[in-house]
Chain A
C-alpha cells in the first residue's frame, strides 16, 4: 500500500521523466534546484497537469495510465494538496475554508463545520475560525492550508514548498511545528522543497530531482555521504569527482588521477571532504598520495574555517584555519600544492 509513480511529460523547456515510490506512512522529500520540475511532478500527481506517459498507482488503485486511457479526475482522488502560497479562498472564512473539502464531498453543513473546527483546534487556531484568510499571518495561513488539506482524510498528502512563503526568522520554529503536524498524520506524504535544511531535517527519505530526472534517492544520511551530482555535493559541501576506477586509482576526465584506499572498479564517484585537503606553498613531502598544483581563491569564512578553491586541472575546495590561510599568504595568489591522503578519498559506484 503506497504510491508508485512514473511521470513523463513536457512543459515548456522542462522535460519530466521521473519514477517515484513512497511507502505508506513515509515522508519523502523531493529536493532539487529551482526549475527542476518538482512542482510539475507534484501537480501531475494531483492530475492538475496531464501525464503524457507513465502510470500512477495509489494504494493499489490506478489513478493515471494514459496508455490504458485511465485518468481519475482531481476531485475524485484521495489526494490532499498544500500549495506554496496556500491558496486559501479569499471570500470564505477560515472555518469555511477548512470545511470546503468536506462540503464538496457531500458532508452536511453542520457536521462539516464541526469537523473543520476540530481541525482548526488541532493546528492551534481555534480562535481564528471566523476570520478571513487575509487577516492571518503566513504561518497561520500555512496551518489553515494544512488543516484544509487533511480534513478530507486523503491517503496521499502533497506539500509544495510549504515553508517558502514564510520569512526566514519564523521558518525554523514553523518547520518544527510542521514536522509535528505531519508526524501525527498517518498517510503517505510527499513534500517538495529547494531548501536543503528543510529536506535534511524533515525527510524519512530524500529524492533529488534535477532537470526533470531523479538523480538520487536515499535517506538524508546516505544522500549527504555519497552525493551523485554536483548539485547535491555543493549542498552538503563535498568535493565530488567522477571517473573510471581500476587498480586503486580513479582516472579523472582531465587526465588527472586520484589514489584511493577504497579501490573500486568501473565508473565511480569519489568524494573528498574539504577539511581533508591540506595546502602547502612547497611540494609536500611524506605520505600523501594525491598532490596537485593550482591557484588559490579565497571563497568564504565558515565558522572557524576558511574555504579556499584551488583552481587547477581538477578544481577542489579546501578548508583551512584562518592561521594557516595567513601563514600561507593565500590572499597573495601565486601557486599552492593541495594534498589529500588516499584514505580520505571515498569511492563508490556511479
Chain B
C-alpha cells in the first residue's frame, strides 16, 4: 500500500488532499473501522490451537467438500450457459435484448431467499419445470445436491455473464477481422483469438462467480434445505454451528474469509489497476 502511494507522486497527492474536505476524514475512518472490526474480531476469537481439529471434524470436512463440489458445479453450469449468453448479449441484436440483460442481472439485486422461493415454485416437485423433470427423467431437485448447485448458479451466474460481456465489448473486434483475413473461420477465430483476448475478463468473472457461489446461503437453504452431507454447504454449516459449536463456526468462517482474500488478491490488478 505504502509503495503505491509513493508511486502516485507528491504533486498529485497534494492536489488530492486539497480537493477533499478535511471533515471527511472522520466518517471515512468510521467506515474503515466498521469494515475492519468484524474481521479483527473474527481473527481474535479464532481458537488457533484447536483450529486443526475443528477443521478435521467429519461434519466440517463434509461441509467443506460439499461446498467445493457445489460451487465448482455452479461455476461449470454458469460457464456452460452463461458464456454463450454473454456472447449473444455482446455481439448480436435480437428482440427483447434489453429485457434479457435485465433478467440476467436480476439475481444480483433479488434477495436470495426470494430466489430460493422462486426456484422452489419452478423446479419444486409441483413446479412447472420440476414436475416435468420428475415425470420425464425422474430427476428431483429440491433438497438434493444438484438442487444446491442450481441455487448457487442462479445467484452467481450474473457475475460471470456481466464480466464476460464487458470484456467482449471492450475488445477490439478488428482482431477478429485480422483472423478472418488470415483464413480463420468463426470457430477458429473464437478459439484462437476471441477467447484468449477476453480470457482475463472471463477469469475475473469466473472468480467472482465461484466466490459468490461458495458463499451462497439464502437461495440454497430455501431451495435445497440444510441436509448435512447433501446440501449443507459451509455457510449453512456456519449458521448452524453458531448455536452449538462456536469454535467450529469461527473456523469455517475463517476459511471463507481466507478464500475471499485470495480472490481479492487474484483480481487486484483488474479492479485496482496500479496506474
Contacts and interface: CB of A to CB of B under 8 A. Distances in A.
Interface of A: 43, 46, 48, 73-77, 79-81, 83, 87, 89-92, 100-101, 103-105, 148-149, 152
Contacts of A104: 179, 182-185, 188, 192
B174 interface: yes
B174 A87 contact: yes
B77 interface: no
Contact of A75 (B174, B175, B180, B199): B180
17 contacts: A46-B177, A73-B180, A73-B185, A75-B183, A75-B184, A79-B181, A81-B181, A83-B178, A89-B175, A89-B178, A89-B197, A91-B197, A92-B196, A100-B192, A101-B182, A104-B188, A104-B192
Given A79-B181, A104-B192, 12 more contacts: A46-B181, A74-B177, A77-B181, A81-B178, A87-B174, A89-B179, A100-B192, A103-B192, A104-B184, A104-B185, A148-B182, A152-B183
Nearest to A148: B182
A178 B215 CA distance: 58
Interface in B145-185: 172, 174-175, 177-185
Instruction: Say whether chain B's binding surface is mostly helix, strand, loop, or mixed.
Output: helix
Contacts of B183: 75-76, 101, 104-105, 152
B113 interface: no
Nearest to A43: B177
B193 interface: yes
A87 B182 CA distance: 12
B178 A75 contact: no
Contacts, number: 65
Contacts of B197: 89-91
A105 B192 CA distance: 13
A89 B199 CA distance: 13
A100 B179 CA distance: 8
B175 A152 contact: no
Given A87-B174, A87-B175, A149 B196 contact: no
Contact of B181 (A80, A90, A92, A103): A80
Contacts of B193: 89
B188 A74 contact: no
Contacts of A80: 181
A77 B185 CA distance: 11
B199 to A, nearest CB: 8
A84 to B, nearest CB: 10
A253 B10 CA distance: 65
A60 B204 CA distance: 50
A101 B184 CA distance: 7
A187 to B, nearest CB: 14
B190 to A, nearest CB: 12
A216 to B, nearest CB: 28
Given A48-B177, A74-B177, A83-B174, A100 B182 contact: yes
Contacts of A90: 197
A87 B185 contact: no
B126 to A, nearest CB: 50
Going nearest first, the 3 A-B pairs with the smallest beta carbon separation are A101-B182, A74-B180, A104-B184
Nearest to A105: B183
A51 to B, nearest CB: 16
Nearest to A74: B180
B182 A152 contact: yes
A91 B196 contact: yes
A100 B184 contact: yes
B227 to A, nearest CB: 45
Nearest to A151: B182
Most buried by A among B177, B181, B183, B188: B181
Contacts of B178: 81, 83, 87, 89
Contacts of A105: 183
A149 B180 CA distance: 11
Interface string B190-202: 0011001101000
Nearest to A86: B178
Nearest to B188: A104
Contacts of A81: 177-178, 181
Contacts of B179: 89, 100, 104
Nearest to A88: B178
Contacts of B199: 91
Contacts of A101: 182-184
Listed residue (B174, B182, B183, B184) with the most chain A CB atoms within 10 angstroms of its CB: B182
A118 B133 CA distance: 59
A265 to B, nearest CB: 48
A103 B179 CA distance: 11
Nearest to B172: A87
A193 to B, nearest CB: 19
B168 to A, nearest CB: 15
B214 to A, nearest CB: 29
- Chain A CB within 10 Å — which of B172, B174, B178, B188 has the most? B178
Contacts of A83: 174, 177-178
Nearest to B180: A74
A74 B181 contact: yes
> Which of A101, A104, A105 has the largest count of B CB atoms less than 10 A from its CB?
A104
B64 to A, nearest CB: 35
Nearest to B199: A91
Nearest to B178: A87
A191 B218 CA distance: 62
Contacts of A100: 179, 182, 184, 192
